[in-house]
Amino acid sequence: MSDLFATAAFILLLIGLYAVRAPILRRLRRFEAQNVERRLAEQNDRRDQLAHYRHTLKLAEEQVDEIAHHTEPDSRTGYPIDVFTFAGERFASRDEAEAARNAAIVAKARQFYRELPAALAARGNGKLGRD
């Protein structure tokens, strides 16, 4: 009798796996597509002389806060207006806020390149590659 229960449980498990196979396969295909895309990007970066700068800007962008958008009443008229906030500063338009954010990103990337010679000197051999 226990063999019958074990077989029934095994069959129910297989039916359950079959029912959830589509989402699992979708996730695996998406994961594989991301890996292929990443490998192609790495190959392209090896040929691109400016890839290091692009990666530095991307890393700096991740470290800078996003622009906050909210609506509040105007102090003079009372009508609702859109306000964009970046780094504690208020901007009337998204373009102004984006310009301020981009300036902060570039400043952070420049700071990295200013500190790079000291970091290389601290390594002792002055190389970035694996030793």
pLDDT tens for residues 14-35? 998 888 889 999 999 999 999 9
Q: Phi then psi for 36, rounded to 5 degrees?
A: -65, -45
Residues 57 and 95 in one domain: yes
- Short-list 47, 51, 53, 48, CA closest to 113: 53
pLDDT for the residue 130: 58
Long-range contacts for 99-104 (Cβ within 8 Å, ≥24 apart)? 101/64, 101/65, 101/67, 104/64
Domain that holds residue 75: 49-131
pLDDT for the residue 2: 85
Total domains present in the chain: 2
Residues 80 and 125 in one domain: yes
pLDDT for the residue 37: 95
At residue 40 the predicted structure's pLDDT band, cuts being 50, 70 and 90, is very high
Residues 71 and 33 in one domain: no
- 62 Cβ partners below 8 Å, 6+ apart? none
Residues 43 and 56 in one domain: no
What is the identity of the amino acid at 42? E
